[in-house]
Structure 1
Amino acid sequence: MRRLLNRMATLPTLICAVLLSLACGAAPDWDATNEAAKLAHSEGRLDEAREGFEEALEIAAGMEANDSRRVISLNNLGQFLRSQDRLDLAVPMFQRAAELREADPDVDRVELSADFGNLAGHLQRLGRLDEAMSYYERALAIQQDPDDGDPTQMGTTLNNMGMLAYMSNRLDAADDFYTRGMASMEASLLLDHPDVATVSNNLGQLRMAQGQIEEAEQYFERAIRIWSTNLGPDSDTVARCRGSRGEALRRLKRFDEAEEEHTRALRIFEAQSGADHPDVASSLNSIAVLARVTGRPEEAENNYRRAIEILEKATPNGSPDLGAARFNLARLLQERGKSSDAMILFEQAMITLESTLGPEHPNLIIVYTTYADMLVDAGQNERAATLRQRAESLR
């Protein structure tokens, strides 16, 4: 009897153990599945990895709404898809993860604002600019909150919103975002912080587009100084900003200073990226422009030809930079009386720019009108009239 009673006494404990095992059964399955997927991804077994991440997500879907593993599963699958250049499929995963986090009353709102900012960046890369702006606005709303606000992150978000507005040709809006972003960063960071240089560079680009060249040159100079201190004077970032300042100086007719900046940029690019890199071609093109306007046509032609040679190898399907270099050389050859060579290059420039920029791009106006003038001189009035009509339709 005593033995029977002892056995009966253990039944509740056994039942509880079984129930606990059943209740916790999903967690080990999810953990094991998720870890196996990550291992498969790291070892290059991509089909297995995707199946594993999808299975982990399916397991997590049966969990409580506020279970963090649901968000983790969505983000893991999204990161995997992004690593496979399927950002279009990754974004819905990230969006669902952000929605789940936003619905959680205990969510870390600073982290949520970062999620919104990352989503905006992904959407921007997909060309979905309106959606990107809406996520930046949601991030900014959190960052401006007195309790959850972060002035540094607010400055970054405002800068990113400025970039979106600039890309959409909303220059006044871009000006407002950049200016507010700069003020926020200057109030929360050291004045020589690299992020301050980023906004300063962007303001320089904006001022160039607005025709405020002197102010643009000052913004570029500030960005160069800050980046040189933080990244080193020979970084690619500094070189690109020197190229931008060089263009501003050229437009201000400070040709010697402009050429010095472009030459310094060229030396950095050659040392960092090699002599056949497209950045080298960009600097060569800019130096050629300066050689042309300062009366050194042979030097200009040599630099244009070298830039074109680099770009033809680097971008065999064409690029806007290749089209621009061909146009610049065509115009120089026209000035030097090499009409037949110039006409070939004008045709090549048109084809390249139409295919890479699109047939409705306003940058084609100067190409059409310049080539049309040459065709008139060559007696090809009908062809010239066609090109002028195209140019007029783009104004």
Structure 2
Amino acid sequence: MAPDPRGHSAIPGATTGTAPGTAPDATPYDTGGGTAPEALLSTAGRYRRLGRLDEAERTLERAVQITRDSEPSQDAHLRALDALAELLRLRGRYRRSDEILRSALSLAEETPGVGSLAVARICNSLGVLHKYTGRFEESESFYSRALAILEADLGDEHPFTATLYHNLGGLNHARGTHAQGEPFARRSVEIRRRTHGPADPELAADKAALAAIVHALGDLDEAERLLVEALAVFETRLGQDDYEVASCLNNLASIHYSRGGFEAAEAGFRKVLAIKEGCLGPAHPELAVALNNLAMTLWKRGRPEAAVPVLERAIVLLNTEVDRDQPVRLACLRNLQTCRSSM
């Protein structure tokens, strides 16, 4: 099974070093007005929350154009590029997101400079992207660079530094180095317990990410407790059809699977898939995790013929946006062979 920890993308703005706290599914740029570029970023954030992603993308492209052509400061242009790249990642267009972020990083390294918070923000975004695409060494390099800047500028107790601890924990989980990831994940929970309220979605996201790691280390009871706590916050604050709810339900279904409760696991994975399809659309490559988990549960229940088309769909979704050696794609290919041989 593949538990579903997410990378956080909200870290400080480029020049001030401060930004409002954001829920896991919010952009760190929705400031609600101000200059023309800020108004465009705010409008794009509203479109995104409403699920009007085409309009959000067009608005961000306009913000990129305006800030490139007329902004006296590089800051607004870098934030527009980062916001557009994040939206494209969320829409499953990983290759284009990567192109934009690498361009933004080159600009930020020139102005405001290699040790700036702008560089940290873009490195974090690249780390998140490359965790999704399975390029783990690049992800670690970008996360580590961002963390060094944040620790030097903000200290190791700051909520934004906690974002990098969260992301490094999730990266180690994705790589299978769970014991190395656990201290990072626990650190992010500890920091946000002190800086956020108990019903804050960011703390809930940290708990969910820690749960995935302790599950992999064999402590199903602690994992379940953390996930139940996180799920209650997400359902209350974000709604029952939110992506974060689906991530928690995926990991709870994985616990059922680990305990041999395959009927409950199948029901859980089907619900996860329905929510994610509603959030992301039916052609998003990130659906592959839920499809793989559902397929292997069907196989465990003696239904390989039902699992095969599910895995075939997962592979098709991944083929255009990830490298051939991306871990989820390879797992789906191995599992497809297993299911076919069982028929």
AA of the residue aligned to 2:36: N
1:372–1:272 CA distance, 2 compared to 1 (3 A):
same
1:115–1:89 CA distance, 2 compared to 1 (3 A):
closer
Q: 2:152 aligns with which of 184, 187, 204?
A: 184
Note the C-alpha offset of 1:202: 2.5
Q: 2:103 aligns with which of 131, 134, 139?
A: 131
The percentage of counterpart residues that share the same residue type is: 22
- Aligned to 1:308, the other structure's residue is in SS state helix
**C-alpha RMSD of the superposition:** 3.1
Note the C-alpha offset of 1:353: 4.8
AA of the residue aligned to 2:141: A
Q: 1:76 aligns with which of 36, 61, 64?
A: 36
AA of the residue aligned to 2:79: N
Match for residue 291 of structure 1? 256
Deviations 1:102-139 (A, max 9, x none): xxxxxxxxxx4634642552563462122111122123
1:215–1:233 CA distance, 2 compared to 1 (3 A):
farther
* Counterparts of 1:268 and 1:122, CA distance in 2: 26
1:232–1:219 CA distance, 2 compared to 1 (3 A):
same
Q: 2:236 aligns with which of 255, 268, 271?
A: 271
Match for residue 141 of structure 2? 173
Q: Is the 8 A contact 2:227 2:248 kept in 1?
A: yes
Note the C-alpha offset of 1:94: 0.8
Deviations 1:76-115 (A, max 9, x none): 37955975633334323212334xx3xxxxxxxxxx4634
1:206–1:113 CA distance, 2 compared to 1 (3 A):
farther
1:136–1:179 CA distance, 2 compared to 1 (3 A):
same
Structure 1 residues 137-148: aligned runs within 5 Å = 137-141=109-113
* Counterparts of 2:177 and 2:206, CA distance in 1: 17
Match for residue 280 of structure 1? 245
Structure with the larger helix share: 1
Note the C-alpha offset of 1:286: 0.8
Q: 1:88 aligns with which of 61, 65, 88?
A: 61
Match for residue 325 of structure 1? 290
AA of the residue aligned to 1:231: H
Note the C-alpha offset of 1:270: 1.8
Deviations 1:289-323 (A, max 9, x none): 11111222233233223323434555552444544
Structure 1 residues 61-72: aligned runs within 5 Å = none
* Counterparts of 2:277 and 2:139, CA distance in 1: 33
1:203 matches 2:175: no
Q: Is the 8 A contact 2:307 2:339 kept in 1?
A: no
Match for residue 188 of structure 2? 223
* Counterparts of 2:290 and 2:120, CA distance in 1: 35
Match for residue 119 of structure 2? 157
Instruction: Give the TM-score, by structure 1 length.
Output: 0.60
Match for residue 26 of structure 2? none
Q: Is the 8 A contact 2:172 2:181 kept in 1?
A: yes
Deviations 1:147-195 (A, max 9, x none): xxxxxxx3463243243255353145325413412421344xxx54322
* Counterparts of 1:270 and 1:119, CA distance in 2: 30
* Counterparts of 1:88 and 1:156, CA distance in 2: 19
1:351 matches 2:319: no
* Counterparts of 1:311 and 1:123, CA distance in 2: 21
Q: Is the 8 A contact 1:116 1:136 kept in 2?
A: no
Q: Is the 8 A contact 2:318 2:329 kept in 1?
A: no
* Counterparts of 1:368 and 1:375, CA distance in 2: 11
Q: 1:121 aligns with which of 82, 91, 101?
A: 82
1:256–1:135 CA distance, 2 compared to 1 (3 A):
same
Give aligned pairs, total. Answer: 276
* Counterparts of 2:112 and 2:172, CA distance in 1: 24
AA of the residue aligned to 1:76: A
What residue ranges of structure 2 are gaps of 5+ in the alignment?
1-34, 45-54, 89-96
- Aligned to 1:295, the other structure's residue is in SS state coil
Structure 1 residues 235-246: aligned runs within 5 Å = 235-246=200-211
* Counterparts of 1:227 and 1:347, CA distance in 2: 42
Which has the larger Rg?
A: 1
What residue ranges of structure 1 are gaps of 5+ in the alignment?
1-74, 102-111, 145-153, 379-395
AA of the residue aligned to 2:320: G
- Aligned to 1:325, the other structure's residue is in SS state helix
- Aligned to 1:86, the other structure's residue is in SS state helix
Deviations 1:17-68 (A, max 9, x none): xxxxxxxxxxxxxxxxxxxxxxxxxxxxxxxxxxxxxxxxxxxxxxxxxxxx
Q: Is the 8 A contact 1:308 1:325 kept in 2?
A: yes
Q: 2:225 aligns with which of 255, 260, 273?
A: 260
Q: Is the 8 A contact 1:116 1:135 kept in 2?
A: no
AA of the residue aligned to 1:317: P
